[in-house]
Amino acid sequence: MRIALIGQAPFGAAVFERLVEDGHEIVGVFTPPEREGGRPDPLAQAARDAGITLVQPRRWQRRGVVDEDVVAQYEATNPELNVMAFVTQIIPSRVLDFPPMNTIQYHPSILPKHRGRSAINHSILQGDTMTGVSIFWVDEGLDTGPILLQRSCPIGPDATLNEVYREYLFPLGVEAMSEAVQLVEAGQAPRHVQNEDDMTYEGPWEGDIARIDWSQDAQTVHNFIRGSDRAPGAWSEIAGQRVTLLASTRSDHAGGAADLAGGVAAIDSSGMTIVCGDGESVTVGTLAVGRDRQPAQEWAAANNVEVGAVFEPAPTE
């Protein structure tokens, strides 16, 4: 099958490699522009290495008006199917509807739950014990198109965003996309309409949004830290520094009424144990300032943070 692959990053490159292995012809690759002087995008580099048409538009449309030059380059590849693998740009409906087999896309949740680009974060933030991947037919809505196939996977009690994606959603997504394209080619791909009664949508989880509120219960704080690990990174302030907290686990420490939320209850080789609003605690194994990560015990020693120190409370509105 002739496929136009729209996407980026290692996931896009892995889908590219798998579809080529499956015997499909990638007729064009479409990625965002790479940062000047930065590392090559893996999908873009895969296209270069294979000598395949590579188009890197800054945007496909502006204020609803399509870039005719970009669309003409796309249409010249004459695909039978569009495959969207890690897409962050808005793709015009004219492109989505161009191939005779239309467009399919990967999403890292069991749709219609957790629509939006931060689906993995929100699955963990909300304490889900299961998640998965959906391959769906793209329409003009945000993750609203009919489902082609879905595959599920567990979320462990201490699993982080990075771990769930790397260990499950990345490889599962590549396999699911391969299977989906085979179904499309065979004329056997279903279109199951999403049940809007089960729909949830959450906004982007990025920037400074992930400041920890220590007044919340320990399980909520634990989910908050691991659902932000490593991006955007759950953070708090202590000893005059903004620190990112990583590698959270629930702690056996049971505080008393005198313990303050955000108070450091223990520091040892397992990490830094911090009391939460319900008197129970979490232990974080790693602290980071900027890009510099250290075991929590080492960071505390280097910054003169001892048991009894207290993380700053999150400001109230």
pLDDT, one tens digit per residue, over 41-93 is 999 999 999 999 999 999 999 888 899 999 999 999 999 999 999 999 999 99
Given a cut of 70, whether residue 40 has pLDDT beyond it is yes
Give the total number of structural domains in the chain.
2
Q: H-helix or E-strand containing 226?
A: helix 218-227
- Same domain for 127 and 182, yes or no, is yes
Helices 9-21, 170-185: inter-axial angle, 10-degree rounding: 40
Q: What is the pLDDT of residue 255?
A: 63
- Same domain for 69 and 165, yes or no, is yes
pLDDT tens-digit map of 28-39? 999 999 998 889
Q: Specify if 204 maps to a domain.
A: no
pLDDT tens-digit map of 265-314? 999 999 999 999 999 999 999 999 998 999 999 999 999 999 999 999 98
Cβ atoms < 10 Å from Cβ of 273: 22
- Same domain for 131 and 251, yes or no, is no
| DSSP symbol at 269 | T
- Same domain for 237 and 172, yes or no, is no
- Same domain for 184 and 225, yes or no, is no
- CATH code of the domain containing 225: 3.10.25.10
pLDDT (mean) for 126-146: 97
Given a cut of 80, whether residue 165 has pLDDT beyond it is yes
pLDDT (mean) for 141-161: 97
Cis peptide before 33 (omega within 30 of 0): no
Enter the tokens of residue 125: 């933030």
Query: Whole-angstrom Cα distance, residue 43 to residue 29?
Result: 8
- Same domain for 177 and 76, yes or no, is yes
What does each C-alpha distance from 96 to 82, 86, 138, 292 come to in angstroms? Answer: 7, 15, 7, 42
- CATH code of the domain containing 35: 3.40.50.170
Which residues does residue 147 pair with via DSSP β-bridges, in sequence order? 136, 192
- Same domain for 276 and 131, yes or no, is no
- Same domain for 170 and 89, yes or no, is yes
pLDDT (mean) for 114-131: 97
Cis peptide before 230 (omega within 30 of 0): yes
Q: Three-class SS of residue 49?
A: helix
Q: Which domain holds residue 261?
A: 218-302
What is the distance in angstroms between the CA of the first residue and the CA of the last residue of the chain? 55
